Amino acid sequence: MAQLEILEFPDTRLRTVAKPVTEVDDRIRTLAADMLETMYAAPGIGLAASQVDVHERVIVVDVSEDQDDPHVFINPEYEKLGEPIEYQEGCLSVPGFYEVVTRSDKIKVSALNTKGETFELVAEGLLAICIQHEIDHLDGKLFVDYLSNLKRTRIRKKLEKQHKMAVS
């Protein structure tokens, strides 16, 4: 097991569109385990491979209070089922900023599990929100993309300043 480094906005690598996984093998299982370790350590409720600079379609999620209900989704796809819901989101790649984003409150997800088997899941509430946030990452999209240009630019400038401070 290993903890991985999380890329931060406005790193352009976060804009890479991830490729489908063609074979669920030990390399992918190790990636998923390392992503879960990284997510729990952060701590966060989800993580996409894009955030650790691996541009393959793998996400991990655990929205349980005790952080004991890990989900791994490989090549996830979803269909919106519910109503729009507003929720204040954060992102490990945009540390320290929280803004309201509108998502679907219910989705049907299909994906592969770590054995390479297809499964389907109807997700609601925070789990649905988190899965949509993670699949956005696989498409090179961040929650700040839903904000006004003004808000996004302010966040970018603050993070760029912090990044400069951290290296000098």
Indicate which residues carry an active-site annotation.
134
Candidates 14, 130, 135, 159; binder of ligand GNR (CB under 6 A) is 130
35 binds, among ligand GNR, Ni ion, none (CB under 5 to 8 A by kind): none
Let me know: does 159 contact 94? Beta carbons within 8 Å: yes
φ, ψ of residue 147 in degrees (nearest 5): -90, 170
28 binds, among ligand GNR, Ni ion, none (CB under 5 to 8 A by kind): none
Min dist. Cβ of residue 168 to ligand GNR (A): 26
List 58's β-bridge partners, or say none. Answer: 74
Q: How many whole angstroms from its chain centre is CA 68?
A: 18
- Which residue minimizes CB distance to ligand GNR? 44
Candidate ranges 9-17, 28-36, 73-81, 133-141; the one touching ligand GNR (CB under 6 A): 133-141
Q: Does 92 bind ligand GNR (CB under 6 A)?
A: yes
Query: Which runs of consecutive H residues, i.e. helices, occur in 42-122?
Result: none
CB atoms < 10 A from the CB of 42, how many?
15
Let me know: does 120 contact 75? Beta carbons within 8 Å: no
Contacting residues toward ligand GNR, per CB under 6 A: 44-48, 51, 89-93, 129-130, 133-134, 137
